[in-house]
């Protein structure tokens, strides 16, 4: 499960966008950091990600956060994994596990 929020960055900066994640498997807490995580940033709420929209993400851990000990992250900006124009984007994250591959809405990104 991802935590939904609104994030803002300047279009000239390159910085990580973090989406806190809490994962469970068979009812128990699960460490997803061994799973591939990908991001898609869609400019309209009705547009769904296609295969070419997904970009690589990575994981951060924070063991002191009992609610969301893991965060998916993606480097956004001119020298990042993806460079977005000014606008508001719906953030999707996809976690490739076996057999499940959840696609979650992580919130909105406002690029100013």
DSSP letters for the chain:
-BPPEEEEE-TT--EEEEEEE--EETTEE--GGGSEEEEEEESSTTPPPPGGG-EE-EEEE-TT-SS--EEEEEEESTTSSB---SEEEEEEEEEE-SS---EEEEEEEEE-
Q: What average pLDDT does the chain have?
A: 92
pLDDT (0 to 100) of residue 12? 96
**What distances in angstroms separate CA 75 from CA 17, 24, 98, 109, one per listed residue?**
6, 26, 26, 13
Tell me the percentage of the chain whose pLDDT exceeds 90: 74
Count of the separate structural domains present in the chain: 1
Residue 1 has pLDDT above 80, yes or no: no
Residue 112 has pLDDT above 90, yes or no: yes
Range of the domain at 38: 5-111
Q: What CATH number is attached to the domain comprising 41?
A: 2.60.40
* pLDDT tens digits for range 58-103: 999 998 888 889 999 999 999 999 999 999 999 999 999 888 899 9
Enter the pTM of the model.
Answer: 0.90
Mean per-residue pLDDT for 32-49?
95
């Amino acid at each position: 499960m991802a935590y939904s929020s609104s994030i803002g960055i300047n279009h000239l900066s390159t910085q990580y966008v973090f989406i806190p994640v809490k994962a469970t498997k068979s009812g128990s807490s699960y460490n997803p950091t061994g799973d591939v995580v990908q991001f898609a940033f869609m400019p309209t709420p009705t547009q769904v990600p296609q295969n070419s929209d997904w970009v690589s993400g990575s994981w951060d851990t924070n063991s002191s956060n009992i609610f969301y000990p893991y965060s998916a992250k993606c480097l956004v900006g001119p020298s990042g994994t993806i460079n977005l124009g000014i606008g508001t984007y719906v953030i999707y994250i996809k976690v490739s596990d076996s057999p499940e591959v959840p696609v979650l809405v992580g919130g909105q990104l406002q690029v100013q």
